[in-house]
Structure 1
Amino acid sequence: MKKLKIFLHYLPIVLLTLFVFACKNERDREENVDNLRMSFYTQEIADKTPQANNLDNKGMPPNFTATAKMVLDAVVHIRSTQVVSDADGQITPRQLPDIFKDFFGDRFQLPENMPQQPVVGSGSGVIIDEKGYIVTNNHVINNAKELEVTLHDNETYKATVIGADPATDLALLQIKGANLKALSFVDSDNVEIGEWVLAIGNPYSLYSTVTAGIISAKARNININPEKFAVESFIQTDAAINPGNSGGALVNLSGEIVGINTAIASQTGSYSGYGFAIPSNIVTKVVADLLEYGHVQRGMLGINIITMNGNLAKEKKVDFRKGVWVENVNEDSAAEKAGIKAGDIITQIDGINVTTSPRLQEIIAQHRPGDKLSLVVNRKGTEKKVVVTLENVKGTTELSKKESVEMLNFMGADFETITKETAAKLNIDGGVKIVELYPGVLRQKTQIKVGFIITHVNGKKVNSIKDLVEELEGKEGGVMLEGVYEDLPGKYYYAFGID
């Protein structure tokens, strides 16, 4: 009986001790499993990603601090100021003094002191050259009269627009600064799905914000660009991108530009897991064109295309194969001249496999008129090789000449010489049409609008962009532009000064 009492006395202690040992063993087992999982994760990263050396010695995910330090100084905040007039910029004939009526006609621009309301927008940009060249989105600077760039150290500059391309939603600016930090581009064709990336920008004007994620997909088309010749082949990422990130950098862990952040897919207007960036290969081509020619030299095939899939194969009654279906071929286009036909399936371009329409667009967007491309097409089960010489929108291989970029940048506009047919329709000898407006003297000092056709500068006829530049270069004092709009009656006049 005495032994039983002693046993019962020590039983709780024994049970507690056994419980503690059991818990410890279970904890050790879980730690071993976790370590095994982490070891497997580390080995997977080491085997499959080029950023394996960013893992620390405990097998933890990459540390992004070194990359952030490399890139922050090169990503800028862009403040765009638009000015909305309280009227449409026209004076009625009754308000115009008789002496001006006789000379200028019944329409004339409003005086510069007309009440105006400033509207301020915000975005991001990336310095890509020590000379101060900055890449951003066209929609960040579109309709702006003034652009202000703020660096990571809060130094501020006025920016000049070198050029823009609405079709790719890209723009090139320049600031005059010293000791600027610039980023370089990486070949976006070599970027892999699952690769770590950082998005750097200024969401909601929160300067120098860094977010991390991976490349979620490539060659995405989200139909966000309304331009006629829009190119959409986005890199998709789950790095957080919000309003204000537009124009910022998407970089790999080496601090190289993978793409330019452009859009999000969201029902709320804020980040919901889907961000999109323009691939660096498209960006570098657009930048090179803007610097060399002042605008983009766009090569075209002249076909309508659809991504090939099982349902389309059934509809067209053909065997399914990966590629891009040619729905139709434009008459006298580059594709027709090369022998491409409706019903062909394009599978390769210059040795690169093509499986989606956006990917095909992306490859073509990296070339100019006159470039020759080797295509592989499948026609009714038989592969054929064809060589296509890309053409411009006018159906030729000519590259448009670069006029005086400095003067055109000062004007803040893109121009094109009107055709003889347009001139005859408007009953004028010729002229130069404004096709885009950027921050510059025209937007700052006049109420001029896109579509205005300049026919005279200070009373002298203008029939080409070359004529326009010659009349403006070296000019000081007042300048009077005379011209017409295609869809409005009468002549219009706009005046500004050159210091």
Structure 2
Amino acid sequence: MKKRHFILTSIALGLSVLSTPMLAQASLPTVVEGQAVPSLAPMLEKVLPSVVSISVEGQQKGAQRNDIPEEFRFFFGEPFADRSPRQFRGLGSGVIIDAEKGYIITNNHVIDGADKITVKLSDGREFKAKTIGTDNLSDVALIQVEKPNNLTAVKIADSDKLKVGDFTVAIGNPFGLGQTVTSGIVSALGRSTGSDSGSYENYIQTDAAVNRGNSGGPLINLQGELIGINTAIISPSGGNAGIAFAIPSNMANNLVQQIIEFGEVRRGMLGIKGGELNADLAEAFNVTAKQGAFVSEVIPDSAAAKAGIKAGDVIVALNGQKIASFAELRAKIATSGAGKEVELTYLRDDKSHNVKVTLQSDELNQASATNLIPALEGAELSNYNSKGVTGVEITKVAPNSLAAQRGLRNGDIIVGVNRSSVENIGQFRKILDSKPSAVALNILRDGSNFYLLIQ
């Protein structure tokens, strides 16, 4: 949950009634007393069997004690942290994308940490389910029901074809009430919540009524096709305020197909740094575009460098679809997958150029340290190469995390593990994969070089 003048909450949707003009345009008549009346009922009859309610149970670690000053906690170690497991239960929603195999898309935050997942269909049947794979940075998860039988899958639409003003219908399980239908329109595209969590955000914004428990449920069009996965709302009170966000279906489908094929998300990387195009940048770099992704730096030997992208370029389209912001470009590139070829349209001196780029993998350039070794939980890593020093930089350490307890700090540079030198995350991963009996990190900090034993 993120607090500003509003609350950003991971949830999803509930129900509002369509007005007669909207239904008339939907062209989905039903017959009442011999007369055709506009209705979404015929479409919903086909879609509702693909929507599921999800209940989860699990255990989570307790919070660390706060009565010990942070600078001293490392010396006291684990006995002074309250990490006894605590039971939790949660509710959410999901949508079936493969009836034969029983695959269901939902949000990562719905099933995160769950030991038991139960899926309930619209006809009342219940199935046990297991997690196939997740991606916390985009909040997407793929689960699979055990012994799937007579399921119905939703048809997935091309979310890149969405336009502001298109009608939307959301289905979910608000407050555990069961399947509830809501309606609205696409309020905006390419939205970001402004979170600094490092997540990949390229949301569909809709004004459909949303409430807790609908997280992971489908946002569909009037043809009954999946256009998004409902994820979050912005609200002063935490309840519905008409501003809801959904992960586009193309983005969610790209990620789950990677999970199905590789067992994990293999994020694509273009190799640029930049920000949003504004009026001052447009004037300074002689471009007439109003929106786009401004390139401030191109990483050497990256996919962008090999394709001829240069600092000062403005990327305005990806695969023929307009790019409104750097955040949108970042999210679409990252979720496209390593090895995928994409076409970029960019402006240089206000002249348009098209170039095809094969995305690289980012696994050697950034990682969550938790994926490498549990003792580093709470640390984020990136490759470091500056002033003749190469290694792995600790870019972020979460307060009260295991990494913080071990004594790691933001800005630490790992240059070795035990007696082996480390030049990048790839080498770091390889050493840790060998499961050494002891792990002593050789760290550079403020000009000093020392070893830190973490395992």
SS class of match (2:114): coil
- Does residue 148 of the first structure (1) align with residue 118 of the second (2)? yes
SS class of match (2:155): coil
Q: Deviations over 1:251-293 (max 9, x none)?
A: 1122111110011111211110011111111111111101000
Matches of 2:282 and 2:341 in 1, distance apart?
A: 29
Q: Is the 8 A contact 1:310 1:320 kept in 2?
A: no
Q: Is the 8 A contact 1:482 1:491 kept in 2?
A: no
Task: Show the counterpart of 1:94.
Answer: none
Shift, 1:357, TM fit: 2.7
Shift, 1:189, TM fit: 1.5
Cα distance change of structure 1 residues 146 and 380 upon mapping to structure 2, 3 Å threshold: same
- Does residue 335 of the first structure (1) align with residue 304 of the second (2)? yes
Q: Deviations over 1:408-467 (max 9, x none)?
A: xxxxxxxxxxx9x7898342889xxxxxxxxxxxxxxxxxxxx99997xxxxxx628xxx
Task: Show the counterpart of 1:346.
Answer: 315
Q: Is the 8 A contact 1:453 1:484 kept in 2?
A: no
SS class of match (2:178): coil
Q: Is the 8 A contact 2:132 2:144 kept in 1?
A: yes
Q: Is the 8 A contact 2:418 2:439 kept in 1?
A: no
Matches of 1:319 and 1:87 in 2, distance apart?
A: 51
Query: Structure 1 or 2: larger strand share?
Result: 2
- Does residue 136 of the first structure (1) align with residue 136 of the second (2)? no
Question: Tell me, which stretches of 5 or more residues in structure 1 are unaligned?
Answer: 1-37, 89-106, 397-418, 431-450, 456-461, 465-480, 493-499
Q: Is the 8 A contact 2:190 2:324 kept in 1?
A: no
Structure 1 residue corresponding to 2:53, chosen from 71, 74, 77? 77
Task: Show the counterpart of 2:342.
Answer: 373
Shift, 1:319, TM fit: 4.2
Q: Percent identity?
A: 38
Cα distance change of structure 1 residues 365 and 354 upon mapping to structure 2, 3 Å threshold: same
Structure 2 residue corresponding to 1:321, chosen from 283, 289, 292? 289
Shift, 1:359, TM fit: 3.8
Q: Deviations over 1:41-73 (max 9, x none)?
A: 69xx98xx6x34559999999412222222222
Structure 2 residue corresponding to 1:364, chosen from 316, 333, 338? 333
Task: Show the counterpart of 1:303.
Answer: 272
- Does residue 258 of the first structure (1) align with residue 234 of the second (2)? no
Shift, 1:168, TM fit: 1.4
Matches of 2:260 and 2:204 in 1, distance apart?
A: 25
Structure 2 residue corresponding to 1:192, chosen from 163, 166, 169? 163
Query: Aligned partner of 1:196: which letter?
Result: F
Cα distance change of structure 1 residues 350 and 489 upon mapping to structure 2, 3 Å threshold: closer
Structure 2 residue corresponding to 1:214, chosen from 161, 165, 185? 185
Q: Is the 8 A contact 2:254 2:337 kept in 1?
A: no
Cα distance change of structure 1 residues 359 and 426 upon mapping to structure 2, 3 Å threshold: closer
Cα distance change of structure 1 residues 59 and 303 upon mapping to structure 2, 3 Å threshold: farther
Q: Deviations over 1:117-137 (max 9, x none)?
A: 311122111111112111001
SS class of match (2:224): coil
Cα distance change of structure 1 residues 428 and 270 upon mapping to structure 2, 3 Å threshold: farther
Q: Is the 8 A contact 1:305 1:325 kept in 2?
A: yes
Shift, 1:367, TM fit: 2.8
Cα distance change of structure 1 residues 241 and 299 upon mapping to structure 2, 3 Å threshold: same
SS class of match (1:273): coil
Query: Aligned partner of 1:247: which letter?
Result: G
Higher relative contact order, structure no. (Cα contacts within 8 Å, ≥ 6 residues apart) = 2
Cα distance change of structure 1 residues 235 and 142 upon mapping to structure 2, 3 Å threshold: same
Matches of 1:277 and 1:330 in 2, distance apart?
A: 31
Structure 1 residue corresponding to 2:416, chosen from 425, 428, 437? 425
* TM-score, normalised with respect to structure 1: 0.63
Task: Show the counterpart of 2:16.
Answer: none
Matches of 1:125 and 1:63 in 2, distance apart?
A: 24
Cα distance change of structure 1 residues 371 and 270 upon mapping to structure 2, 3 Å threshold: same
Q: Deviations over 1:65-100 (max 9, x none)?
A: 222222222211222223145798xxxxxxxxxxxx
Matches of 1:167 and 1:265 in 2, distance apart?
A: 19
Query: Aligned partner of 1:276: which letter?
Result: F
Task: Show the counterpart of 2:17.
Answer: none
Q: Is the 8 A contact 1:452 1:484 kept in 2?
A: no
Query: Aligned partner of 1:119: which letter?
Result: F
Shift, 1:339, TM fit: 1.9
Query: Aligned partner of 2:53: which letter?
Result: H
Q: Is the 8 A contact 1:249 1:257 kept in 2?
A: yes
Task: Show the counterpart of 1:269.
Answer: 238
Q: Is the 8 A contact 2:132 2:259 kept in 1?
A: yes
Cα distance change of structure 1 residues 60 and 383 upon mapping to structure 2, 3 Å threshold: same
* TM-score, normalised with respect to structure 2: 0.68
Matches of 2:261 and 2:274 in 1, distance apart?
A: 31
Q: Is the 8 A contact 1:84 1:119 kept in 2?
A: yes
Q: Is the 8 A contact 2:251 2:336 kept in 1?
A: no
Matches of 1:150 and 1:482 in 2, distance apart?
A: 45
Cα distance change of structure 1 residues 307 and 182 upon mapping to structure 2, 3 Å threshold: same
Higher gyration radius (CA): 1
SS class of match (1:194): coil
Query: Structure 1 or 2: larger helix share?
Result: 1
Matches of 1:162 and 1:252 in 2, distance apart?
A: 27
Aligned length: 363
